[in-house]
Structure 1
Amino acid sequence: MRALSISLLLTAAYIPAAVVAKPAAKPSLPPVVAQMTLDEKVSQLQAAAPAIPRLGVTGYNWWNEGLHGVARAGEATVFPQAIGLAATWDIDLMHSVGDVVATEARAKFNTVGPDKDHGRYLGLTIWSPNINIFRDPRWGRGQETYGEDPHLTGALGTAFVQGLQGSDPLHPKTIASVKHFAVHSGPEAGRHGFDVDSSPYDREATYLPAFRQVVTEGKAQSVMCAYNSLHGVPACASDDLLNIRLRKDWKFNGYVVTDCDAVEDMYAFHFYRETPEENAAEALKAGTDLNCGTYYKHLKTAVEKKLVTQGQLDTAVTRLWDARTKLGLDGVVSPYNTIGADQIHTQAAADLALKAARESIVLLKNDGVLPLKSSAKIAVVGPNADTLEILQANYHGTAIDPVTPLKGLRTALGADRVAYAQGANIAEGVAIPVPETALSTGKDAGLIGEYFDNPDFAGQPVLTRIDKTINLDLYNVVPVKGFENKPYGVRWSGYLAPPAAGDYQLKLYTERCWECDNQHDALTLYIDDKPVISDKGDGKSLSADVRFDDTKPHKIRLEFKHTGQDWGVRLQWQAPADAQIAEAIKAAQTADAVVAFVGLSPDIEGEELSILVPGFDRGDRTDLALPARQEALLKALKATGKPLIVVNLSGGAVALNWAKDNADALLQGWYPGESGGTAIAETLLGQSNPSGRLPVTFYKSVQDLPPFIDYRMDGRTYRYFKGEALYGFGYGLSYTTFSYSDIRLSSASVAAGQGVTVTATVTNTGKVEGDEVAQIYLTPPADAQGLNHSLVGFTRVHLKPGESRQVTFDLTPRDLSTVDRRGKRAETAGTYGLFVGGGQPKPSDTQDKLTLTGSQALPK
């Protein structure tokens, strides 16, 4: 045999090299992966990957969140919700926000110790940003996105990812997982088994461009596949989406993670394959590497049944190990290991949160009442004036020093110049925190809070203070240092004075830890020393109907025993509408102007909520109008004759028809983060000039929209909507004015494959300095699948009164391309319009003409 081997080698030496076919080299596995057993490999493909001590592998939970700040891991800088960040139209700011999120995630990771096991929300793999298109304002999770436009979403998403990951792809500060790939935007009620029927045109023109940009330009190292199916194939099992489009066409070389329990959903809701192991195998073969959940445990059986190969399993594990190595896990040294807890919520981070909040505010209407004079006496009213939840929104960290609108205006004007009344509940059937105006210690507003280091209220309290409202966020934080990792108790006591006699519903809200089995907190509420609510931790007795026959103060006591791992407690109520409005009118009568904080709440719009009341369906909306109780409040305030300023706080667009016609000023403030109240006060007083622009269309009515479940873009967003919007995408006013001149194209005619440069001069023609967001739109020929026009560039400029500056837009062939019915993107010959201004072109606006000659297909 030895001689034969030599003979064969000699013979091969005489064959021309071009004829010899060399066998493909089998990729070598990382040494750690090569030593793993099948069970160990399978365990590493699940989000809660256990330690393997014999190999020096630490336990690591891949699940962390950083949508607008490090979330669910205790105190962190809380920026405006993503939709508010989008309203800034500020690419540099988005990069800076991403960098702060990464720094604070690193600080929390390093505090545990790089060589230690890391649990959920303490890792370096950030499941953000959400770059789905906010195609329909009814979608409750739309607040997590960057709006309805692919270009704006792609640009902001790319900047945020680059901020999260840093400049060195071999040593990322964190890894971003862009989500949810693809064509995912509600309804929430059916999301686990929803099958999307979308056209090739809509996918290429709307649903995929932002993902492409964030992957190809932003170099995102992870992508999260969605719950839904596309034409009968679950996204997490779609070879076309993951292996072909993502990895082959876009050259993505990172890892894919599922949305949580998406593989189980394939079996339980999509009925995709008959057995658990077949569904797990289909996801793995399609290119899904990591399962959020435990359903990949079935991969062991899948390997044994030869549904997948060891090589396919090894590919997924290797991709994850590449990410772990780059991040500096398992003993690998990272340049970010020195980031410590002192880098959480630095002054620079707090300043950035305030800057983001300022830039996110959109001035929709102003008849001259704004800015207010610093000597003004105002009435602050409305359900969103003084609640923590409207600052933090969803997927949030715990704000260290949150400033509500009421607090911000009291600080700016002085408490003696600000009257306050809650005025209304958010919506019929929805409780809201009991306001400070109804609570008293007997001397001061609020209740006396006694904080004990045990749940039995034994001994002396560690801390006694006055809490103006009972609204504690306890998501991985404690109210008193030293209470960490042990049970404790809080007792609040004082008086409750109802604004009028009548029927009230009192409610104790606690956000239950959904993975803590029966380890929940216990609460008891006493009125006049009688228990009216007593919940032992089962969540069955958290509300009570109470009738007050008078308005005298009644003794109140709330005992909170934190014996589980629940995430907060609030004392809430539903009060009679007439009584709340009467309080608001009384406050307004003493003021020079009224500022009404209305809108929505993360309690009624968000991810897969349980709420089902008129206008709201499990996190989504069925109506765009401002809830009736709030609109009644605005009408009553208008009737006082005082100037009415309306500030709408919401994640989605609200049909503010009455406010547009009747309010003296109208602002959109989103969910503005920890410094929202400061930013709003500065804006109302003219200390900050509003400069936000709408990232979504505000429609007049839900009747203007196609059915929510229809994923066709026809009739949706500014790009395809043929009706008249209440306020259009890109819209926003300022306390100054701007003009555009000298708009020039580098060439009036370009051949396919070439770009064009457009310049314009922007001038501040008003009396105060301010920021303008210059926008450029492309209007295609008439046969472009019903497309009106599209944003192809934007830039933010700061100008002093009388100052001018040239803005430049370098448009690429992709910017100038269109998509045909088959979903093919190309530059196509024709005459196109180009408009530069502070918003979308109107029918009466003159657009510069660009002639494009020839045609050229573009890569997918």
Structure 2
Amino acid sequence: MKVSLVALGLTCCTIVKAQEYKSYPMWNAALPVEQRVTDLVSRLTLEEKVAQMLNTAPAIPRLGIPAYEWWNEVLHGVARTPYKTTVFPQAIAMAATWDTASLKLMAHYSAIEGRAINNRAVEEGKTGDRYKGLTYWTPNINIFRDPRWGRGQETYGEDPFLTAKLGAAFVSGLQGDDPRYLLAAACAKHYAVHSGPEPTRHTDNINPGLHDLWDTYLPAFRELVVNAKVAGVMCAYNAINGQPCCGNDLLMNDILRNQWKFTGYVTSDCWAIDDFVKNHKTHATTAAAAADAVMHGTDVECGTSVYKSLVNAVKDHIIEEKQIDSSLKRLFTIRYRLGMFDPTQDVPYTKIPFSVLEAPEHKALALKMAQQSIVLLKNEHNLLPLSTRLKKVAVIGPNADNRNALLGNYNGHPSHTVSILEGIREKLGANVDLRYEQGIDYTSDVAPSKDSAGKKADLKAIAARAADADVIIYVGGISPDLEGEEMSVNAVGFKGGDRTSILLPAVQTELLKELKATGKPVVFIVLTGSAIAIPWEKESIPAILNAWYGGQGAGSAVAAVLFGSCNPGGRLPVTFYGSDSDLPAFSDYSMQGRTYRYFKGEALFPFGYGLSYTTFKYSHVQMPATMQKGKPIMVTAAVTNTGRYDGEEVVQLYCSYPEVNAPIRALKGFQRFKVRKGETRMIVFRLQPEDLMVVDDSGNQYQPTGKLVISVGGGQPIATIKTTSNVVTKTILIK
């Protein structure tokens, strides 16, 4: 066979060139990452550099750099992939567990599944595909300041301390503990002062006072950046004090980069840089917008085209190329820490097999966390737990057999999701007459049946058909189809993904009244991603469970709690207000009158609240009577299970300074653990001086002298609502 010398020469040349880049320092795994990154960036053209700053970064074949898509999601399990993954309870539900260990393990399992997906993408040459990368834009640590915000379900609730501790646990679990490589890269979002309304998020300009900024909106971000060493931060759509967050002097340059010394990468929220020109109208051109964002440390544009104008911005001397280089170095440092430029045999996570998706231990944790998240709001005359020896059970409501509602938003898709109805059926077995009827939709009395489409449901008839049951289980609330991110929803009480009223939709209350009128015991199971006002239900329905959006195992978890094989131990991470009139204007970002820390009214169910099938007693609470300012404080107590069931208690410690301008009270410690019936557990809290600080009107932290009130118990020191434990309060004099 004859071989063309020209072709042979070209082939040899190609091989030499293909091998040549491997000799560059950027590919030498023995060198420090900083040196390798510097070498890589020095070899890029300006056009190549700019292209790498888009979330969809193209391959650079001449250097062997693969394509990479920065955008991925792992809010409560790996999301939006084409594969079946484990779906854990929604973030707000995980917050209701008050369990940092469970959350850390959940994040670790999710990262393991994500690595398996990425490993396959590498094998298939699909590293540029969205939702297959290792940079996850989670957790959402915005403060859930107003229950009307549809995306509040993605957060860890309304409290800065709880949010900070849960968020740090998530970051630790997701990023792993390898000294050299990240298992995955977390991203704290949305920085900052961002929590709705959804329809105006692209134009909102918020002017938070310095007290609220440092007291409420920034503590969780500081915890994740300074202490948890989160790899990334996402800047928000809104403007602060007239400057868009992604180009904000105070947030980006002063606080994030200078005060907190953040060296990780920053991505914009998607199309947020477009907002500079189109919505905020703070910049006349895309080149000016892009340059300003980069000069404020925004390294990646999630969007389509604005950062492409950086090429001309450099040529027109709007920005210097070395500032582009700074962003590139941060971006490639993350990719190097993820092991993308090292031999696969050197990176331990590249050996994770695809078979770990939906591993048995992952599914078991999803079920456990769903159980942990359930909050028992009411249990009159100990109606719960129910007996499994019932003869007839009626299950009614729009969420009873709705699997999609259990998955929340920013979710993956498991191989199987257990609906509430399915969980109850499996628990009761074939010998119980189980009758199911959806009855109504969430917000209307239009009959949901295809056979009666368009007709109004007869609420009295629905109740009559359930009247001969031993117990009626109504499964209602709301759904991710009604609340979420920038949604087009046409339903009473909902707008643009948000809620216009926090009341349970009226048609559900009307049906519950009819069910109550049957004289049979009624159990109300609430599915929601936020606080719902249920004043009539609180007074009239004997048993109420809040089950959130509980993930793939929600049905089994609810059934376990209903019938007593699991004792509920969830606690509210948000305040359940009694009515819309309890809330300030949605667009008002002042914290006055908001959350348990500043709300002076009486909550329907307070932050930290949750009942149990057993009871707990706190005793032997010890703390010093006087202390010197700047010294740590040790608080000890004994917790005894005085009831008839084993149970898990969530111990909560709150601090308040009644003599200064500070929150009414603030959570400063919590622990969740199991206490068997009759058992006593000793607990210890060590409060550091920084835990005892408050924020003045100028945003400065200080520790007051005078009275410091500390309470320890199973909730807040509020006597207006019965709980399953006492709360012990003592006063310390700080000198």
The normalised TM-score by structure 2 is 0.91
1:758 is aligned to 2:638 = no
Tell me the CA shift for residue 403 of structure 1: 0.2
Aligned residue among 211, 214, 239 for 2:221: 211
Q: Which residue of 2 aligns with 1:630?
A: 508
Aligned mates of 1:612, 1:589 — CA distance in 2: 33
Q: Which residue of 2 aligns with 1:130?
A: 140
Tell me the CA shift for residue 81 of structure 1: 0.3
Q: Please say which of residues 318-327 and 333-342 is displaced more in the overlay.
A: 333-342
Q: Which residue of 1 aligns with 2:349?
A: 336
Q: Which residue of 2 aligns with 1:392?
A: 407
Note if contact 1:51-1:117 (Cα within 8 Å) is conserved in structure 2: no
Aligned mates of 1:316, 1:189 — CA distance in 2: 31
Q: Which residue of 2 aligns with 1:702?
A: 580
1:86 is aligned to 2:86 = no
| Closer/same/farther in 2, CA of residues 256 and 794 from structure 1, 3 Å limit | same
SS at match of 2:367: helix
In structure 1, give the amino acid aligned to 2:416. Answer: D
Tell me the CA shift for residue 308 of structure 1: 1.0
Q: Which residue of 1 aligns with 2:367?
A: 354
1:414 is aligned to 2:429 = yes
Q: Which residue of 1 aligns with 2:394?
A: 379
Matches within 5 A, 1:101-120: 101-113=110-122, 116-118=125-127, 119-120=129-130
Aligned mates of 1:846, 1:165 — CA distance in 2: 38
Note if contact 2:464-2:518 (Cα within 8 Å) is conserved in structure 1: no
Deviations 1:270-319 (A, max 9, x none): 01111110011110000111111122111111111111111100000110
Note if contact 2:226-2:260 (Cα within 8 Å) is conserved in structure 1: yes
Structure (1 or 2) with the larger CA radius of gyration: 1
Tell me the CA shift for residue 169 of structure 1: 5.4
Q: Which residue of 1 aligns with 2:150?
A: 140
Note if contact 2:713-2:728 (Cα within 8 Å) is conserved in structure 1: no
SS at match of 2:529: coil
Q: Which residue of 1 aligns with 2:178?
A: 168
Note if contact 1:114-1:337 (Cα within 8 Å) is conserved in structure 2: no
Matches within 5 A, 1:151-162: 151-162=161-172
Note if contact 1:79-1:673 (Cα within 8 Å) is conserved in structure 2: yes
- The percent identity for this pair of structures is 47
Note if contact 2:616-2:640 (Cα within 8 Å) is conserved in structure 1: yes
SS at match of 1:612: coil
Aligned residue among 64, 70, 78 for 2:78: 70
Q: Which residue of 1 aligns with 2:527?
A: 649
1:366 is aligned to 2:379 = yes
RMSD across aligned positions (CA): 1.6
Aligned residue among 646, 664, 672 for 2:542: 664
Matches within 5 A, 1:274-353: 274-294=284-304, 295-333=306-344, 334-353=347-366
In structure 2, give the amino acid aligned to 1:201. Answer: H
SS at match of 1:636: helix
Deviations 1:700-730 (A, max 9, x none): 0111111000000000000000001000000
Tell me the CA shift for residue 401 of structure 1: 1.2
Q: Which residue of 2 aligns with 1:690?
A: 568
Aligned mates of 2:470, 2:546 — CA distance in 1: 22
Deviations 1:209-261 (A, max 9, x none): 01111112211010110011101011100132122211221121100111101
SS at match of 1:814: helix
SS at match of 1:386: coil
Aligned residue among 663, 679, 687 for 1:811: 687
Tell me the CA shift for residue 843 of structure 1: 6.4
Tell me the CA shift for residue 208 of structure 1: 0.3
Note if contact 2:621-2:728 (Cα within 8 Å) is conserved in structure 1: no
Aligned mates of 1:781, 1:634 — CA distance in 2: 42
Query: Could you list the runs of 4 or more consecutive aligned residues of structure 1 that deviate by over 6 angstroms after TM superposition?
Result: none
Matches within 5 A, 1:432-443: 438=449
Aligned mates of 2:294, 2:107 — CA distance in 1: 30
Q: Which residue of 2 aligns with 1:247?
A: 257
Aligned mates of 1:596, 1:648 — CA distance in 2: 9
SS at match of 1:732: coil
Aligned mates of 1:50, 1:846 — CA distance in 2: 60
Q: Which residue of 1 aligns with 2:733?
A: 851
Deviations 1:346-375 (A, max 9, x none): 000000000000000000000111111011
Tell me the CA shift for residue 428 of structure 1: 3.2
The normalised TM-score by structure 1 is 0.78
Aligned mates of 1:129, 1:144 — CA distance in 2: 8
SS at match of 1:30: helix
Q: Which residue of 2 aligns with 1:18?
A: none
Aligned mates of 2:328, 2:178 — CA distance in 1: 23
Q: Which residue of 1 aligns with 2:669?
A: 793
Q: Which residue of 2 aligns with 1:555?
A: none
| Closer/same/farther in 2, CA of residues 28 and 124 from structure 1, 3 Å limit | closer
Aligned mates of 2:421, 2:496 — CA distance in 1: 29
Note if contact 2:207-2:240 (Cα within 8 Å) is conserved in structure 1: yes
Q: Please say which of residues 324-333 and 43-52 is displaced more in the overlay.
A: 324-333
Tell me the CA shift for residue 583 of structure 1: 5.6
Aligned mates of 1:599, 1:117 — CA distance in 2: 41
In structure 2, give the amino acid aligned to 1:593. Answer: V
In structure 2, give the amino acid aligned to 1:627. Answer: P
Aligned mates of 1:825, 1:332 — CA distance in 2: 47
Q: Which residue of 2 aligns with 1:721?
A: 599
In structure 2, give the amino acid aligned to 1:783. Answer: V
Q: Which residue of 2 aligns with 1:781?
A: 658
In structure 2, give the amino acid aligned to 1:577. Answer: A
Structure 2: runs of 5 or more not aligned: 1-33, 721-726
Aligned mates of 1:324, 1:740 — CA distance in 2: 50
Note if contact 2:367-2:554 (Cα within 8 Å) is conserved in structure 1: yes
Aligned residue among 413, 419, 422 for 1:404: 419
Note if contact 1:768-1:800 (Cα within 8 Å) is conserved in structure 2: yes
Aligned residue among 441, 445, 457 for 1:577: 457
Q: Which residue of 2 aligns with 1:730?
A: 608
SS at match of 1:641: coil
- Which structure has the highest strand share of the two? 1
In structure 1, give the amino acid aligned to 2:534. Answer: L
Aligned mates of 2:182, 2:123 — CA distance in 1: 15
Note if contact 2:525-2:545 (Cα within 8 Å) is conserved in structure 1: yes
Tell me the CA shift for residue 620 of structure 1: 0.6
Note if contact 1:58-1:117 (Cα within 8 Å) is conserved in structure 2: no
Q: Which residue of 2 aligns with 1:748?
A: 625
Q: Which residue of 1 aligns with 2:440?
A: 424
Aligned mates of 1:232, 1:674 — CA distance in 2: 43
In structure 1, give the amino acid aligned to 2:526. Answer: N
Tell me the CA shift for residue 115 of structure 1: 8.1
Q: Which residue of 1 aligns with 2:712?
A: 836
